Amino acid sequence: MSFAEIHASYPWEKVLQSIQAKTPSDVQRAIMRAENGQCDLEDFQALISPAATPYLETLARLSQEKTLRRFGRTIQLFAPAYLSNECQNVCTYCGFSAGNKIPRRTLNPAEILREAGALKKLGFEHVLLLTGESNKIAVPYFTAALDLLRPHFSSLSMEVQPLETAEYLELRKHGLNAVLVYQETYHKETYQQHHPKGRKSDFAWRLDAPDRIGQAGVHKIGLGALFGLEDWRTECFFTALHLQWLERKHWRSRFSVSFPRLRPHEGNLSPKVEMTDRHLVQAICAFRIFNGELELTLSTRESPAFRNHAFKCGVTTMSAGSRTNPGGYAEGKEASLEQFAIEDERSPEEIAAMLREAGYETIWKDWDLSYDQPAASVL
């Protein structure tokens, strides 16, 4: 059974009603079970429910304890590197949407290497490669980019259009370590409203992409929803449901969850549902309590003041010094249009200093080239 079939068996409104109906007693029970190392999807619903709001400090304490036990006082830093803003999809919330009349650009090999040089000077060893979704920017381009960058970085992740299993297998051969595919929203009707044209309009194709990534044996799989399109609590539940299903099927892979909130862009879509700072902290804590092994990411979409405090609640990974336009590191923001506006514009060095002051160690590398070699050649 595919996850698309699993997803269809959970009516959105029924899940929403179940979350809204949770009581303080349900929250207290979930906390007690979590303290004893137990937390199922029913408990997760309680932890993200309105009834859990008065317990936020308790959730934060428990989340932080679980994070420190598993990951210690460490935060991994990474940089998103945009290789192209060409896109054939129409997405109402994205600056790269095909309907936006903007100059399009795809970096050539020399430009990719210039970006690599700028990122290396900033100290990065972990880079997330991103593009719009265009037929012109496909597997041959991705493999060439990986081949160019692999000698210079210890960890390469990608966030591009969903691919076939065989294509993910091919990218693995060229040094790909992780793939992120965000569903944007798990509400099918809302998904269709915000993705009216292009391959991305196929809800089920995108929904089952993480399964294809797992079938290809990719080391890490990233999930998430774009908060603001629909009810954030229900989005969190479906993300947790997706995560649990994937972990049981693809237990050799690691998993991460990100928490992007809708940001200003070319088009300026206003959020349908507000997710406040307290809501976001609640979501982070709930995911950490639900899954102690999970990597949780907080991006530069958030403000410096928020990131300075929220990371302690369960986050393990943060972006720093981000540029969301092709050529942005070597040439600056003016190189091309950004996908969305970032809020935390501090340099990686400033982020690392903030972490040190808080008593945390900055991790620039979470992968080694030797891991890519067959076991016999390593021994």
Give the pLDDT of the chain (379 residues) as one tens digit per residue. Answer: 899 999 999 999 999 999 999 999 999 999 999 999 999 999 999 999 999 999 999 999 999 999 999 999 999 999 999 999 999 999 998 888 888 888 899 999 999 999 999 999 999 999 999 999 998 899 999 999 999 999 999 999 999 999 999 999 999 999 999 999 999 999 999 999 999 999 999 999 999 999 999 999 999 999 999 999 999 999 999 999 999 999 999 999 999 999 999 876 545 678 899 999 999 999 999 999 999 999 999 999 999 999 999 999 999 999 999 998 999 999 976 654 556 678 999 999 999 999 999 999 999 876 555 555 543 333 3
Asked if residue 41 lies in contact with residue 240, where contact means CB atoms within 8 angstroms, the answer is yes
Separation between Cα atoms, residue 58 and residue 200, nearest integer Å: 40
Close Cβ partners of 97 (under 8 Å, ≥ 6 residues apart): 87, 89, 90, 91, 266, 267
DSSP annotation of 294 reads -
Q: What is the pTM of this model?
A: 0.94
Q: Which two three-digit tokens encode residue 140?
A: 């041959």
**One-letter amino acid of 360:** Y
Cβ proximity of 106 and 137 under 8 Å: yes
**H-helix or E-strand spanning residue 376:** helix 375-378
The CATH number of 3-368, from 3.20.20.70, 3.30.160.270, 3.40.50.10190, 3.40.50.170, is: 3.20.20.70
What are the extents of the domains in the chain? 3-368
Of the candidates 28, 76, 55, 71, the residue with the CA atom closest to the CA atom of residue 291: 71
How many C-beta atoms lie closer than 10 Å to residue 337's C-beta?
A: 19
